[in-house]
Every structure is written in structure tokens, then in C-alpha cells.
A and B are shown apart, each in its own frame.
Chain A
Amino acid sequence: MSENIKIVENATCTFCGCVCDDMHLHVDVEEKKIVKAKNACILGRAWFSEHTIEENAPAAMIDGKEVSIEDAIEEAAQTLVNAKFPITYGLSDTTCEAQRQAVAITDIIRGNIDTTTSVCHGPTGLAFQGVGESTSTLGEVKNRADLVIYWGGNPAESHPRHFGRYAVTPKGMFIPGGKKDRTVVLVDVRKTKSAPVADIFIQPKPGKDFEILWALRALVKGKTISADIEEETGVSLEVLQDLTEKMKNCRFGVLFFGMGLTMTRGRHFNSGALLALATDLNEFTHFVAKPVRGHGNVTGADNVVSWQTGYPFGVNFSRGFPRFNPGEFTTVDTLSNGHADAALIIASDPGSNFPKRAIEHLKSIPIVVLDTKQTDTSKDAHVAFRTSTYGINTSGTVYRMDDVPITLRPAFESPFPDDEKILTGIRKRVHELMLARHSANGAIGEAKVAAPL
């Protein structure tokens, strides 16, 4: 360890959707390493300590051979412009500034853009379009929630500070006693490491979330439910009735939910049932719901894609304007049905976590990858960029799971460029290439002046 330790206060951890911005980092500037991350959870500590610089790694490669960044940008642009169905995917682990460039590239080349949302809370996005959502920022939960329900998620392992910083233990404006002023309920098919925090643990049969949520809606509305619900769902009518009373009589209730709802049988119907339940409860008291989002800036990706196109994910520009169709323009589908003929993958590793068939197709097409480390996806890339890590080496904007935007404070410099810089380079080049095509087709006009492109 060198003598030269720099302290970065109020830094932000971008590992999970909690986006905790109270990190106190000790940075060894010469070694380019974070030696201590005060306030970080187990995941955050690994995030900060493991993102070191591999000095000798090439910044850019074509087909596994080191090239200049300029050459790689040129090859990436040519690859994307010459494809018939180029797809852009990933985006949850980078800044909004980079995400904006990625949507621009896809718009210009008339490609297809999708984010990791489609395999995370994509179904919740669809449910939101169907029924809306009563929701709040996490600070409201901290200040007001006297009933906190977690459904189909295991924050103790996926979002370790969710309990301590936002939703269970902190004291709030109207919750002076912290945890003792709240009732905590956990609903999960497994008794996970989150169970000890719950006052009430409910363990249904797997794949029965929709039935239970719908029964709760009925009970909230005063309808009769038959006692054989227990046989169907593994949860007794008595337990459901008790939960109903707790929900109706709390002062400020919140339903947090995870991918136990979105990734199982029912998918968007599960999320929709939960969102509708929270909405229904507003007839009796104040009630909100919130998906517990995963990767650091997946919520930013939803926001950026939405404001630029009107739709949150699964967007296709092939007709010159955005179209939205989950199941067609979502990446598992564009890959497994064999439509995509080139891919731009940003800060994501579909090569290791997609369905087998999608991975097989991905490996058969030219891909351009931006990532901070080598992954299953980048190791076979046609063009691979090694980029710096957001929140550790570069600033930018990240949205917490409750849509609160936060500016990152980098800890030390990386020799590698950031995603935004590479994507801006690709965007400029594909724009030139496409403008040349348009001019050849007789379009009139000036080149842009100070365009927001």
C-alpha cells in the first residue's frame, strides 16, 4: 500500500438498485485501488475492491487482436451500419449519459434496442402499462411506512442495505422507533436469509403468487374466499385474512416485490395483481408498491429509453420511428428467433445468463462489446472495448430503484475510456455513414449545428 491515500466522501455504490450514496472510500491513488469502502455492504465491498485496473489489458480488440480505439470505433460503426437487424442490449451497468448515446446510435442505424429490464422487471413494466402503480421514493418508506411487505425477493442477499438504510430499521419522521414501529412481512417460496427480519413469514407453494394476490384483492374488497385456498396455494385463509386486516388498517403500507413474481408462471399477471392490490388498498389507507430493481442503473435505462422513445424497453426503429413489442423486440426473442444479425452489447453479459438457444445465436453473429472486464460475451466479440467503471472511475448519472437520480463521484482514474466516450465516437461515425447514404438519396439540409443527437 502506498502512502498516498485519498478519501472520497459521499460516493455512490452502483452495484445494486439501492444505489447507496453514503460511501466513504479510501483510495490508494498510486495503486489505483479502493482499499476501504466504509458503509458498503458485502456486495458493495466486493464491487469497490475488485474493480482494479488491469493495466496491460488491451483497450480495444478486433477478433481478439489489439487495435487502436479509433480503428475499433470504425469497425464497430461499419459492422452496425451494414447489418440488417442490429440489436443494442444491456445498459443497466452504465451511466445515463452513455445510455442516451446508445439509444441515439440505435435510432440512427434503425436498429433494435432493449435493456436488461426485459429479463428482470420487464413484466412489471408491462403490468405498469396495464394498471398503473401507487408508489413512492424510499425516503417516504423510511419516514412513514408502518407495514412493510416483501414478496418474492431476498434483499438480505440481493440488496443487503435495503432493510437497514431504507425500509426496516431506520427511524423516520413518523416512525420514531424504527423497526419496532413497523410490521415486516416476507412472502417467499424459500425461507431465505431475509426471513429473520420478518415478523410474519408466509411460505406459499411455488408458482401460486397470482392466486394468493388475487385472493387478497377479493378479501380487501370484502368478498368471500373459500378455505380450500390453502390446498391450492399452501397458505391458509386465516393467514390471508390477518394480512388483509393489517394492510387495510396500517397508516402507510408498502409492498416491495422481486423477481420471484416476474420470472415465474404468471409473469406480468403476478406484477399486475400486486400493483392492483396496492391500488385497491388506497380506498382504505395510503398504500404504495415498488419493484426492488437489480443492477445499479437499470432504472436509469428505463427512464432514458422511455423519454427518448416513449417506451421502456424492447424498442425497434426499423421503420424510422420507435415501435414497442415485448416478445418480438426483446432480446431473448430477437436472438432465439434468429433475427438479429449484429449486436452492440453494453455492460452486460447475455452470453452467460440468457437461455441456451439465445446464446447459441449470439455466438453466431458479429458483436461489439463494451465491458470493464472480460466476460463470456466479450471473449468471442468481433469488436471488444475495455471501458472504465462507472462510479469508480467515471462520473455520470444513475437512477436509484425509486427513480431518484444521483451524480457519481469517481474515486480514481482509469487508463481506459468510459462507455459514453466510446459510444459517442460510434454515434458520430454511424451518423456520418448514414448521412452519406441519405445525401446519396437526395436529402437537403445542413449538418447539425449543436444537435442533441
Chain B
Amino acid sequence: MAASMRIINGRVYDPTNNVDGEIKEICIQDGKIVASAGDDVTVIDAKGMVIMPGGVDIHCHIAGPKVNAARKLQPEDHRHDVHPATPFTRSGTGGTVPSTFATGYRYATLGYTTAMEAAVTPIGARHTLEEFHDTPVIDKGFYVLLANNIFLQKLLKEKRMEEFDQAVAWWISSTKAYTVKLVNPGGDEPWKGKKNSNVSDIDELNDEGLTPRKIIEAFVKTVNARGFPHPPHIHCNNLGHSGNYITTLETMKTANGLRAHIAHIQFHSYGGEIGKNPVSKATEIIDYVNNNSNITCDVGQVMFGKSTIMTADAPLAYVLKGHSKGKWVNADTECESGCGIVPFTYQEHIYMHTLQWAIGLELFLLSKDPWRVMLSTDHPNGGSFQSYPKLIKLLMDKGFRREEMKRVNQKALINTILPDLEREYTLNEIAIITRAGPAKALGLHNKGQLGVGADADITIYDDMEDKEEMFNAPRYVIKSGHLIIENHEFRNDFNGRLLHIAPEYDKKIEEVVQPFFEDYYSIEFANYAVDDHYLHDHEVIPLGETHS
């Protein structure tokens, strides 16, 4: 049983409840925030400290088949960054793809208490759930890859929209997912079936008469009509390619006013001609986002140093293999997805990498609604989640930003307006882009806020001038009312919950899906759906308002 607790004298940032730096008492009982607690409870004196809800990562890659392949691939990434056991916690290894235990503990060490794995194949759901059970402290969920699902595309092609809608719900329920993920819609078949080619245009017709746009449109409609707490999470076509901002704008327009989340939008904000160096189109992209409240996005900031590219966008990973010249993993999943993994390093002196770094910062600094433009590095694609504190400092401290700008490729820098941007994020805005905003976009009403009834996921930082140092090491972290970190040390272990949704579907859809399985899958239909024993502690997030 979690202890009752009072946190007194701390300066509270709780944007959801319009609390902006007030000294306020926070009380906890049974894992929830309550209005008051008795005197006979644990008291934390947070004088001189900053209190925020636990961080919520809306887009990262932390568990499942591709993550584990990337772990196995890189002993060199772990060796230099070990994670020793304590009497209360398990050991592990770090690097850009930490082991499961290290992942959970290190998120907690940054004050994060929830993280969403952004790309899981349906057939890999069971694996992901097993890893989640070994990922301590944080609550977690995952988005399931459906855009290149051959059966769903067949239903679309045949205009069987009612069955499509039912099948989407069946797939979500069968995998215990949180929402649908669309990655490079329409790009898998040319990759696997046409000698490693790709789609290049949102309106490009494939052999079946489908376009990426039609696929996107269908998912946006279904998910909005069903009121999933988080809309389709979209990785647009043409990631990383010069001139791709047009595709990104067209993707957002395809939502046609309905909710859609654009993932790692920085990677989709490039002008210029294919095959040539890109230029920044951050302004065009962020203007569209600013003016269209149906769109949310996470930035996917690039941070210099080691990263690991891991993506369901297999053709993209192959392009990057050509740049890195190093080891490469390709992993095709039958009827469902592709996957590519490439160890990668972003370097200041390279034009492309500086441009990507600068575009990410432009997007943050030009954003007019922090609730809809959220912090991410697309961990570990743009950089590790462990670089979030440095990213926060870049946003909060223009002096630091200026110093960092001196070290980058100047030809790339002058192709952006970053040097002219003077904005500094406030603590309240940081609380929005790292907690309140992601929680809202995910429809997690009990997270990202400290109102009565919210989950007692709380982070207490020392108020420090150096924001990187401050966000790197909270003094206290409380998860579901348990004191996990006290004076920077682990005092306890905790196994967070799985967050998922359970949309209803007509059982008859199974009869429609099953024959396809028997012909084209290599496992039995009856053994495909994930049973409840993989859930462990879990919470079904209710569906919300429906829109069409």
C-alpha cells in the first residue's frame, strides 16, 4: 500500500490547473492526489524546489522486437555506460538503447513517469508486453502498426469500410494497444515485393489502386469516429527527404479538421530538391500547426552524438545505411510491417545534421501553442531520451543556445532563422511540452496534472540556474504515491502499469479475418490475439468523444 504524504513549501507548476509557480501543498493518498492528508503522514519539505507532474513521453522506442534487435546489435553501445544494481533495483546497461530495467530507472531518474512506445507490429505485441513487465517504475503503452497491414489495405481497396472499421478495433483489442500508428503508408510492398523500392508521393497509386492518402484518410476517420483517446499517430511518407514538407502539409490537410498526431515533425520539415541538400521549411510547417487546432505533433529533435535509427520505415533505414556505411538490420514482418535499424551519429560539422538540429529548435521556438508541439527526440532516432535535460536547457537559455550555435555547421545555420530567435521557454511552458501537453494529447486525464484525483506521479527538482543540471537529477520522484527516489537515490522499486484501450467490435469480424490468416500468416489465428495474462497491472483508458 502506498503511503500517505504531504509535500509542503514547493513551487508548483501544474499548467492543466492553471498553477504557474505558486507555493502550494500537494497531498497524496492511495496513489492519488487528494485535497488534504492528516498530520500523521510522511512530509516532504520542498522549500526551494520545483514541483511538476511526472513527465510523459508521447513518442519513444523503448520495447519490443526492433528495440531488442537494436540492443543485441550494439554491445559497444552498452559497454561504456553500465547501470549497476542497488539492493532494491536490478542492474542493466545503457547507451542509446538501454536494457529494460535501465530504461525504466533512467526515465524515473529524469522525472518521467509515463512513456509510450511508438511502433509495434501486431505480431510483436506479446513481446512488447513482456518487455514492459521488465521495464520498472514508469507506466507505458504502445501504438500498433497498421498502415501497411495487407489485410486492412485489401478491405480499403474493396471499399469494405464497415469491416475495415471493425477490423481496426479488433486489431487494437487483440494486441492491447493504445492507438494506431501509421508509418510510411503504402511503402512496405514496394520495399519487400519490388526489389527495395518505395513510394514517393502521397497520391501515388499502387498496383491495387490505393494511395497513401486514402490509407491515412481511412484511419483518421475510423479513429476519430470511435473516439480513441489519442488520434492516429502518423509517421508521414518521405521522412528525411529534401522537399518532404509538401507531403507533411498534405498529410495534415488529409485529416480535414479531424484530430491527427504528426510524429517527429522535424524529420518532415525539409525543402529543396530530392538528392540535394535540404533547406528549412520549419516556418511553413509550424504555421500550419499553429493555425489548425486539430493537429498535435512531437518535434523529434536531433541531438548531436550517438543515436540509433530504428524504424518501421525500412526504405529510409536503407538510405541511412548508405550514409553510415556500417552495420544494418532489416526485419520484415509478414503481412504487417517492415523494419530497419542503423547505428548512427549526428555530427555538428555535417550540413544535414546541423540543419536537422536547427529545424527542431525553430519548430519549438516558433510554436504558438505548446500544448500541441511536444518535446521528443524520437528516442533513440534523433538522440537518447537521456538528452532531454540538455534539450530543455537549449529551449530555456538563449545564451547557451548561442554558444552551441558556434560549434555547428555555419552554412546550414544561415539557411535557418534560428540565430534570430530570442525566445526562451518558461518553466510553465516546459511543464506543458513535457507533461501536461502529452497527457492531454494522449487523453490521459489523470496524468500530466496535480489536481485532486490525478495519479500521484510527481517530480520534485532543485530549483537551479543550470536547467540541464536541474532536469537531470530530480531530488524526489513519486510514482503512484510511492517514493521511488529520495535525495537522488533509489529507495524502492515499482512496476508501472500498461495503459491501453479496448474498443468494442463485432465478433463476426473474426470470421472475415481468419481465412486470410490461414492463407498468409505462419501462426494460427487462434494463437494470435494476446491474452490477458500479459497485462499484469494495467488500466483501460476509456474512449472519448466521437468525431466524424
CB distance from B191 to the nearest CB of A (A): 7
Question: Closest A-chain residue to B530, C-beta based?
Answer: A407
Cβ of A329 under 8 Å from chain B: no
* Measured CA separation A125–B522 after assembly (Å): 24
Q: Which residues of A contact B531 (CB under 8 A)?
A: 407
A428 to chain B, nearest CB (A): 14
Question: Is the CB of A1 closer than 8 A to any CB of chain B?
Answer: no
* Cβ-defined contact, A309 with B522, below 8 A: no
Q: How far is the CB of A250 from chain B (nearest CB, A)?
A: 10
**Chain A 408-446 against B: per-residue CB contact (8 Å), 1 yes, 0 no?**
010000000000000000000000001100110001111
Q: Which of B92-100, B272-280, B447-455 contacts A (4 or more CB under 8 A)?
A: B92-100
Interface presence of A165 (CB below 8 A): yes
B495 cross-chain contacts in A, Cβ below 8 A: 450-452
Cβ-based interface call for B126 (8 A): yes
A322 near B68 with CB under 8 A, answer no
The answer to whether A452 and B90 touch (CB under 8 A), given A251-B193, A282-B330, is yes
Interface residues of A in 230-285 (CB under 8 A from B): 251-252, 279, 282, 284-285
Q: Is A391 an interface residue (CB 8 A)?
A: no
Contacting pair A443 B71 (CB below 8 A): no
Q: Which of these, B91, B133, B318, B522, contacts A322 with CB under 8 Å?
A: B91
Which residue of B73, B104, B127, B491 contacts A403 across the interface (Cβ within 8 Å)? Answer: B127
B-chain residues with CB within 8 Å of residue A285 when the two chains form the complex: 195-196
A272-314: CB near B (< 8 Å → 1, else 0) gives 0000000100101110100000000000001110111111100
Stretch at the interface among A166-174, A194-202, A205-213, A349-357: A166-174
| Residue A453, interface by CB 8 Å | yes
A129 at the interface (CB under 8 A from B): yes
Give every chain B residue within 8 A of A319 (Cβ-Cβ). Answer: 84
With a cutoff of 8 Å between Cβ atoms, the chain B residues found around residue A134 in the complex are 328-331
Is B494 positioned at the interface, with any CB of A under 8 Å from its CB? yes
Which chain B residues lie closer than 8 Å to A173 at the CB level?
150, 335, 519-520
**In the assembled complex, which residues on chain B have CB atoms less than 8 Å from the CB atom of A251?**
193, 195
Q: A10 near B522 (CB under 8 angstroms)?
A: no
Cα-based distance from A21 to B330 in the complex (angstroms): 25
B87: contacting residue among A142, A174, A434, CB under 8 A? A434
**Contacts A288-B330, A407-B527: A308 and B73 contacting too (C-beta < 8 A)?**
no
In the complex, the answer to whether B522 meets A142 with C-beta atoms within 8 Å is yes
Shortest CB–CB separation between residue B344 and chain A, in angstroms?
A: 13
- CB pair B492 A137 closer than 8 Å: no
Q: Is the CB of A320 within 8 A of B91?
A: yes
Pick from B2, B126, B329: contact of A133, CB below 8 A.
Answer: B329
For A21, the chain B residues whose CB sits under 8 A away are: 523-524, 527
Q: With the chains together, A320 CA to B86 CA distance in Å?
A: 8
Picked from B68, B136, B490, the residue with its CB within 8 Å of the CB of A303 is: B68
Partner of B72, one of A125, A165, A171: A125
Contact: A453 with B522, CB < 8 Å? no
Distance between B342 CB and nearest chain A CB, rounded to angstroms:
8
Would you list which residues of chain A between 128 and 161 have a CB under 8 Å from chain B? 128-140, 142-144
Residue from the list A140, A322, A444 in contact with B333, Cβ < 8 A: A140
* Chain A residue contacts of B538, Cβ below 8 A: none
Q: Mark B191-229, 1 if CB is under 8 A from A, else 0.
A: 111011000000000000000000000000000000000
Contacting B134 at CB < 8 Å: which of A286, A445, A452? Answer: A452
**Across the A-B interface, how many residue pairs have beta carbons closer than 8 Å?**
231
Verify A138–B196 contact, CB threshold 8 A. Answer: no
Please classify how large the interface on chain A is, using the bins under 10, 10 to 19, 20 to 34, 35 or more: 35 or more
Across-interface contacts of B2 in A (CB, < 8 A): 449
Q: Judge whether B524 and A10 touch: CB under 8 Å.
A: yes
* CA gap between A251 and B192 in the complex, in Å: 9
Segment at the A interface, from B53-61, B74-82, B357-365, B410-418? B74-82
User: Chain A contact residues: over half helix, strand or loop, or mixed?
Assistant: mixed
Q: Tell me if A405 and B133 are in contact (CB < 8 A).
A: no
Q: Contact check, B90 vs A104: say whether CB atoms are below 8 A apart.
A: yes
Known: A132-B329, A288-B330, A310-B92. A107 touches B71 (CB 8 A): no
Partner of B136, one of A130, A172, A286, A452: A452
Alpha-carbon distance between A133 and B88 when the two chains are bound, in angstroms: 37
Tell whether, in the assembled complex, residue A444 and residue B192 are in contact, meaning their CB atoms are under 8 Å apart. no
B511 to chain A: closest CB distance in Å?
16
The answer to whether the Cβ of A390 comes within 8 Å of any Cβ in the partner chain is: no
Complex contact A309–B334 (CB within 8 A): no
The verdict on A46 contacting chain B, using a C-beta distance below 8 Å, is no
Residue B65 at the chain A interface, CB threshold 8 Å: yes
Smallest Cβ-Cβ distance to B131: which chain A residue: A307
A288 with B75: CB separation less than 8 A: no
- Expressed in whole angstroms, the Cα–Cα distance for A363 and B492 within the complex equals 40
Check: A9 CB closer than 8 A to any chain B CB. Answer: yes
Chain B, residue nearest A439 (CB):
B87
* Complex CA–CA separation, A302 to B133 (angstroms): 17
Within 8 A of A (CB), among B520-548: 520-524, 526-527, 530-531, 533, 537
Decide if A135 touches B192 in the complex (CB within 8 Å).
Answer: no
- Residues in chain B near residue A308, CB distance under 8 A: 90, 92, 99-101, 134
CB of A322 within 8 A of CB of B192, answer no
Binary flags per residue of A356-382, CB closer than 8 Å to B gives 1, else 0: 000000000000000000000000000
Query: 1/0 contact trace for B32-63 toward A, CB 8 Å?
Result: 00000000000000000000000000000001
Q: Which residues of B contact A139 (CB under 8 A)?
A: 334-335, 520-523
Instruction: From B65, B75, B130, B134, give the contact of A311 (CB < 8 A).
Output: B75
Docked Cα-Cα span, A187 to B69, in Å, equals: 28
A397 touches B134 (CB 8 A): no
Q: Which residue of A lies closest to B531 (CB)?
A: A407
Would you call B85 an interface residue if the criterion is a C-beta within 8 Å of the partner chain's C-beta atoms?
yes
Chain B residues whose C-beta falls within 8 Å of the C-beta of A449 in the assembled complex: 2, 482, 492-494
Residue of A nearest to B481 (CB): A449
Q: Judging by beta carbons under 8 Å apart, are B195 and A284 in contact?
A: yes
Determine whether the beta carbon of B196 is less than 8 Å from that of A136: no
With A135-B330, A322-B92, A448-B88 as contacts: A282 and B526 at CB distance below 8 Å: no
| B527 touching A406, Cβ below 8 Å | yes
Check B334–A140 contact: CB distance below 8 A: yes
Q: Across the interface, do A132 and B327 meet the contact criterion of CB distance under 8 Å? A: yes
Query: Would A322 and B82 count as touching, CB distance under 8 A?
Result: yes
Mask: chain B, 102-138; 1 = CB below 8 Å from A; 0 = not: 1010000000000000000001101100110111100
Instruction: Establish whether residues B493 and A137, one from each chain, have CB atoms under 8 Å apart when the complex forms.
Output: no
Task: Report which of A136, A171, A284, A451 forms a contact with B331, defined as CB distance below 8 A.
Answer: A136
Nearest A residue to B482, CB-CB: A449
Q: Is the CB of B494 within 8 A of A450?
A: yes
Closest to B125 in A: A405
Residues of chain B within 8 A (CB-CB) of A397 are: 126, 130
B493 and A306: CB pair below 8 A?
Answer: no
* Interface residues in chain B, defined as those with a beta carbon under 8 Å from any beta carbon in chain A: 2, 63, 65, 68-69, 71-75, 78-79, 82-88, 90-93, 95, 97-102, 104, 123-124, 126-127, 130-131, 133-136, 150, 191-193, 195-196, 318, 327-335, 341, 482, 490-495, 519-524, 526-527, 530-531, 533, 537
Q: Can you show 30 pairs from A to B with CB atoms below 8 A apart? A: A9-B526, A100-B130, A125-B72, A129-B73, A132-B327, A137-B123, A137-B333, A139-B523, A140-B333, A165-B522, A282-B318, A308-B92, A308-B134, A310-B78, A310-B97, A311-B78, A395-B533, A397-B130, A403-B65, A404-B523, A407-B527, A443-B86, A445-B88, A446-B492, A449-B2, A449-B492, A451-B88, A452-B90, A452-B134, A453-B90
A-side residues, CB < 8 A to B, are 9-10, 12, 21-22, 96, 100, 104, 107-108, 125, 128-140, 142-144, 165-166, 171-174, 251-252, 279, 282, 284-286, 288, 302-304, 306-312, 317, 319-324, 395, 397, 399-400, 403-407, 409, 434-435, 438-439, 443-446, 448-453
The 8 closest A-B pairs by CB, nearest first: A139-B334, A310-B93, A139-B522, A451-B493, A136-B332, A132-B327, A438-B87, A321-B82
Task: Give me 19 other A-B pairs in contact (C-beta within 8 A), A434-B87, A445-B88 excluded.
Answer: A10-B524, A10-B527, A108-B85, A129-B327, A131-B327, A132-B327, A135-B330, A143-B334, A165-B522, A166-B522, A282-B318, A307-B134, A310-B97, A311-B72, A322-B93, A406-B527, A444-B491, A445-B86, A450-B494
